[in-house]
Amino acid sequence: MPKLTITQIIPNKLCLSCDVCCRFIDDNASLAPIFLPGEIIPKVKPHLDKSCRVKLQPFQDIHACQFFNAGKNKCSIYSKRPFDCRLYPFAIMFDENRKKIILGIDKKCPFSVKAGNEALIKNYFHYLSDLLEKKEIASMIAENPLFIGDFQYDVIQFSYLDTLAKLVINNPEKNGFSAISLKDKDVFDKFFKKIENPDSGRNFVNLFIWKEKNPVWWKQKNEDPEILFEMDSGYIDFNSLKKFPDYVYLRKDLADLKGNRYKHKRASCNYFSKKYKFQYLPYKQDMKNDCLKLFSKWASARKQKFQDLYYHKLLEDSFSAHKLAIENFKTLELTGRVIKIRNKIAAYTFGFELKEDTFCVLLEVCDLKFKGISEFIFREFCGELTGYKYINTMDDSGLENLRISKLSYHPIITS
C-alpha cells in the first residue's frame, strides 16, 4: 500500500507549545491514532492494538500516545507518524446518521479557530478534499474503515467525501450487486423489451459502453434486474434517472434529404461524393485501431473548435465508450460502417436496433478535413436501414452545438 503524505500547514512552533495533541481523556479513546498497513514499521508494531490503533498509556491524570515524548512535548516518531496524525486537526468522520462522510476541522486545535487563518484553512480544505476524493486514496481509506471517526459536534464541517462514502457506506458489491458485463446482455435486453417506448438510455449497449464513466450495478430482484447507476455523487436508482430527450427522425427523410429544408445537407453530400475518391464499407474488426486513431484526431479537432469545458470532458469520457463499442461490436450486435479515403479510415458510424421500428445511431466520427463526409456517411447509413421507420440519434447532453446539429436534420420529435 503506498504511503499517504500531505502538506502540513500548522507551524511547528505552535504545535511545540500546545498541549492538545497526543493526549486523550480516557484510555480506550477511539480518537487514538490508527496506523494504515503501509505505515506499520517494526518499531511501531508492538504498540498497536488489533485495530492498529496506538495503545495509550497513563499520562498525568489522563492518557497519552505511547510515542509521545512528554519532556520535549513532541512525537518520538515524528517522521514516521501515521497519516491520521498528519491529517489532524482536519478530520474524516461519519455524519450523525452514518449515511455520509464528512471532512472537517477540530475546533479543539487553536490553529483552527484563530482569527486570520480562515483563507489558509479554506484553501487547505480544497487541497485535502481533492486529494481524498481521488479513487486510489479513497480506496485505500475504505479498506481501513476504522480510520473514519465517529461524528463529533466539535468538528467544523467543510464538505462531504462522496467517493469514500460510495466505497464505505453504499458499496453495491456489499449489497449483492454486480458490475455490468457483456454476459448480462440477455437479461437487460429482455427487461428493456418490456418498456413500451425505450429511449436511447434504456438499453444494454449504452449502459455497457459508458460504464467507465458511470459504472452500472445490478442484481436480480424478482423477475427484473434492479439497476444502480454510479454517479460522482453516489448511486442512483436507474428508474429515477433524468435524461435529456432523444432526437427522433423519419428514416426516409434522412435517407432522401428531399426538399428545401435539406438542401444544405444534400449539397454537402454531393460535394463529398464528387470531390473525393472513397469507399463506403461495412466495419471489420481489423479496422479497430484505425477507428480509435481517428477518434483521437476528431476529438482534438472538436476541442479546438468548441471551448465548452463540459464538452471537452464529454469528449474525453467518450474515448472509452467508443473503444468498448468498437471492441465488442459483434457481441453488442452493432451495425458499423466506415468510409475509407486513400485506404485510410476517414469516418465511422455504429448503431443498433432500439426497437422493432427504430434504429439508434450510436456513434459517428469523421475526419472533418473532408468536407461533407459527416452528412454523407449519415445519409448512406440511414439509406441502408430500410427495415426501420425511425432513426433515433440520442440526446444532446444539454450541449448547444449538439442541439443545433441534431435540429438541423428536422426531428419529428424530441422524446
The number of residues that bind ligand SF4 (CB under 6 A) is: 21
Tell me which DSSP letter residue 197 carries.
S
Tell me which DSSP letter residue 33 carries.
-
What residues from 43 to 102 belong to the interface with ligand SF4 (CB under 6 A)?
A: 54, 65, 67-68, 75, 77, 81, 85, 88-89
- In single-letter form, the type of residue at position 399 comes to L
Q: Minimal distance in Å, beta carbon 95 to ligand SF4?
A: 23
What residues from 279 to 318 belong to the interface with ligand SF4 (CB under 6 A)?
A: none
Q: Cell for 262?
A: 435539406
Residue range at the interface with ligand SF4 (CB under 6 A); choices 17-25, 123-131, 210-218, 336-344: 17-25
Cα 270 to Cα 71, 257, 263, 323, 338, distances in angstroms: 88, 11, 10, 31, 18
Q: Which of 21, 209, 228, 324 binds ligand SF4 (CB under 6 A)?
A: 21
Beta strands per DSSP E along 161-237: 178-179, 216-221, 224-231, 234-237
Q: Minimal distance in Å, beta carbon 392 to ligand SF4?
A: 58
Q: Minimal distance in Å, beta carbon 31 to ligand SF4?
A: 10
The two most distant CA atoms of the chain are separated, in Å, by 93
Residue with cell 435524461: 243
Q: Which is nearer to ligand SF4, 114 or 371 (CB)?
A: 114
Q: Which of 95, 110, 271, 320 binds ligand SF4 (CB under 6 A)?
A: 110
Task: Report CA Rg, the chain.
Answer: 29
Q: How far apart are CA 367 and CA 294, in angstroms?
A: 7
Q: Minimal distance in Å, beta carbon 93 to ligand SF4?
A: 16
Residue 111 in the binding site for ligand SF4 (CB under 6 A): yes
Q: How far apart are CA 313 and CA 234, in angstroms?
A: 19
Residue with cell 473503444: 323
Q: Which of 92, 93, 105, 109 binds ligand SF4 (CB under 6 A)?
A: 109
Q: Minimal distance in Å, beta carbon 153 to ligand SF4?
A: 17
Whether the Cβ atoms of residue 244 and residue 174 lie closer than 8 Å to each other: no
Q: Minimal distance in Å, beta carbon 154 to ligand SF4?
A: 12
Q: State the residues that interact with ligand SF4 by CB under 6 A.
A: 10, 14-15, 18, 20-22, 33, 54, 65, 67-68, 75, 77, 81, 85, 88-89, 109-111
